[in-house]
Structure 1
Amino acid sequence: MDFFAAGSRPTLRASSDYFTGTVWQDPIVEAPAPARVRALRVAFDPGARTAWHTHPLGQTLHVLSGAGLFGLRNAPPRVIRAGDTIWIPPGEEHWHGAGPTTGMVHLAIQEAVDGKAADWLEQVSDADYARPPA
């Protein structure tokens, strides 16, 4: 068993290689093999977002606070709010982040294959981000 006391692991600023704007990540779990689950608490400042990406085994997002946006390729983004849960199937290209004027915090849960939980693509363009929500 592993026990991680609250505040015992540092909050990390997310890499600008995979995120636009200011994003903070708090690790929840990165289970050792043979388990594959990984989970993070991710806090997005207004306007911040992920790059386009996929997950080899899918991803679950649960919005903890605030309001943000979730986007799929070739579709307008969708508004997401505290209490919403999203399942993203394996291989589906998507992005997620805060709204233009609101911060958003979500729990991100995914599994890793050969130590890799995401395949990162290009940054989300300002035009894609600013597209009117569905």
Structure 2
Amino acid sequence: MTKPSPDPISPGAACPCGSGRRYAECCGRWHAGPLHLAAPTAEALMRSRYSAFVLGLNDYLLATWHPDGRPRGLEPNEPGLRWLGLEVRRCVQQDDSHATVEFVARSKLAGRAQRLHETSRFVREDGRWYYLDGEIVE
């Protein structure tokens, strides 16, 4: 995995995931950390993936996507896309290796508000959580 460019966001800035913590103490440590340093829970991974979408860290998104569903690549964010916030609604850990996270991510593009409501499935393999897939909630 390629590391993101230095300081995609100030380490002292509020984390984009909405946790209320500084980026360096929240998602930033997962984004910049070595491969053995991984988000400890499915929720932490989900939040770090949202922040990676906000910051355009496609290498991180691909590295945290389970190989069974991982795309070959990701397009950069649309020009003018603004991520507005993340609300984690529910986290359920079924067992040591499976969890779901329901969330709503809000964005705005070309003056139009968008809302993604998804229940994502996560799997833990070799001590690392991976995004497996998600189901859109209508």
**Normalised by the size of structure 1, how large is the TM-score?**
0.27
Q: Where is the strand percentage greater, Structure 1 or Structure 2?
A: 1
Which structure is higher in RCO with an 8 Å CA cutoff and minimum separation 6? Answer: 1
Q: Where is the helix percentage greater, Structure 1 or Structure 2?
A: 2
